[in-house]
Structure 1
Amino acid sequence: MTDQPNPARSYFVPKGGLPPQSQLVTDRAMFTEAFAVIPRGVLSDIVASALPFWDAARFWVLARPLSGFAETFSQYIVELGAGGGSDRPETDANAEAALFVVEGALDIILDGATHSLQSGGFGYIPSGKEWRIRAETGAVFHWIRKRYIAVDGLPAPDAFFVQEQDLTPNTMPDTNGGWATTRFMDPADLRHDMHVTIVTLQPGAVIPFDETHVMEHGLYVLQGKGVYHLNQQWVEVEAGDFMWLRAFCPQACYAGGPKPFRYLLYKDVNRHAALP
């Protein structure tokens, strides 16, 4: 795990490699019609991908639009070596991007301005924008991509860049501070068709009911461990694990200890359900 000056905010960083021949084959990976769990040990060298127009980069694809899997988004973990990056990172003009840095630092060049993000940095880039990205000494970040759903009469959202360390988490009511959400997008801004947040549950805290809702989720555990109740199955997860939850998949969880249980959360929001 990456060392952080504030132990309440740390971010797991995969390192690749290959498990030894002595390791048991059976693990916690699950793929069902309602959810999937990709444990951190799956992110080895042999499952990394390469993409066009990137230098000194490799990608672990956690989710992609696929029948019976993610429908609204894709999510990558991107590892950049020194000097790595791209002058043409996105090849789909309709794709919006959310970036969250978990190690190192990177520069995003957008509309002639350079935005520097350190570990804990978040950036949102609207669809249709040309942008570049570079990491002078290397970096690891999450890249969430979604096809933006425009609404007639509603302008597109603006790009923005912020550090998690500068944001105040919103404490959930009647939880004594045990459950809080750090919101990167303003929930009242209906220009956005996705939200990316960091959910923090203190040890022993709980999401006390099976949420069952229209929003699709991608969850990457940044820190700690917990037990999720997913569609009537209990699943234990830890830092570095990824979960995909289909729309209407029942979901609740307990946070383990001794550290806070924290995860990066994607969900699609603020749009009518598409009709066939």
Structure 2
Amino acid sequence: MTRARYHAQKGGHPDQTELMTGRAVFTEAYAVLPAGTMRDITTSFLPFWEGTRLWVIARPMTGFAETFSQYLMEVGPGGGSERGETEPGVEGVIFVVEGGVDLRIEGETHALAEGGFAYLPADCRWSLRNAGEGAARFHWIRKLYEPVEGLEKPDPVVTSDAEAAPTEMPGTEGRWATTRFVDPADMRHDMHVTIVTFQPGGVIPFEETHVMEHGLYVLEGKAVYKLNRDWVEVEAGDFMWLRAFCPQACYAGGPGPFRYLLYKDVNRHAGFLPRR
């Protein structure tokens, strides 16, 4: 039996014999939404999306995610939307974890299978359909694009986890690597969505403390993650949000690789609050 490469939420409902207590945590510096919180009764729906339900795991709000939203999408056979994004100025990323979709960007159709990645520039016209016989499941990350005078908006990008070669972190002998889907030196981009992979025994060997807001969804494996003052056990299907400057570190204990889909805001000046 082939092991699934990416965790895909299925929903369902817990039995009355299960304990209420889980690992969900919401603090001023970070949040952990374990896979077990994503049940049928916590799904949402969207206008102009047929045969579709979703879990909203991040949204802009005071004291939580400030720069992005992230959805876990489940689209049934024949489902999808002819109006993918309805908000002006919003860019997006799609990453497929189960099944496949036909993604049409400015009139050109792309077939995305498991591991498929697409960057969708702000205000581009796109639509999506599930032409398969089973449900398609994918992440949809959205951000209000921050234009800069003299820089054009980025072009669409369609690639996959299999096509993008991981970059090893220096001095780690491949135990820590990042799969980047766009050029990190391209200043047109104001967000990066990557896949971070730790082999068993791989670590972030210091407490990263920096300006980027993070969203981390565990695609595969398990680890212990340092979030602010706490060590937290995480596994496939869990989501972590870290506000800017939240200290973080990681130890991947195995037995297999630990991989997560990572969002962070990049390449822009720190904004200022409006004057009172």
Structure 1 residue ranges without an equivalent (≥5): 5-9
**Corresponding residue number in structure 1 for 2:3:** 3
Would you say the 8 A contact 1:93–1:129 is kept in 2? no
Structure 1 49/154 Cα, relative in aligned 2: closer, same or farther at 3 Å?
same
TM-score by length of 2: 0.97
> Structure 1 residue 3: deviation in Å?
3.4
Alignment match of 2:233 (pick from 233, 236, 244) = 236
SS in 2 for 1:190: coil
> Is 2:47 the counterpart of 1:52?
yes
Map residues 30-179 of structure 1 onto 2, 5 A cutoff: 30-137=25-132, 138-179=135-176
The 5 A counterparts of 1:197-276 are 197-276=194-273
Q: Rate the CA distance shift 1:32–1:237 in 2: closer, same or farther, 3 A.
A: same
2:100 is paired with a residue whose SS is: strand
Distance in 2 between residues matched to 1:141 and 1:256, nearest whole Å: 27
What secondary structure is seen at the aligned counterpart in 1 of 2:36?
helix
d(CA) in 1 for partners of 2:165, 2:65? 30
- State the alpha-carbon separation in 1 of the partners of residues 92 and 48 from structure 2: 17
Unaligned runs of 5+ in 2: none
> When the two structures are aligned, how many residues end up with a matched partner?
271
Distance 1:218 1:154 in 2: 26
Q: Is the contact between residue 217 and residue 245 of structure 1 (CA under 8 Å) also seen in structure 2?
A: yes
Q: Which runs of 4+ in 1 moved over 2 A?
A: 1-4
Residue in structure 1 matched with residue 186 of structure 2 by the alignment: 189
CA displacement at 1:46 relative to structure 2: 0.2
C-alpha distance in 1, partners of 2:2/2:47? 29
Q: Please state whether the residue corresponding to 1:145 is helix, strand or coil.
A: strand
TM-score by length of 1: 0.97
The 1:136–1:3 alpha-carbon spacing in structure 2 relative to 1, beyond 3 Å, is farther
CA contact (8 A) 1:11 1:222 kept: yes
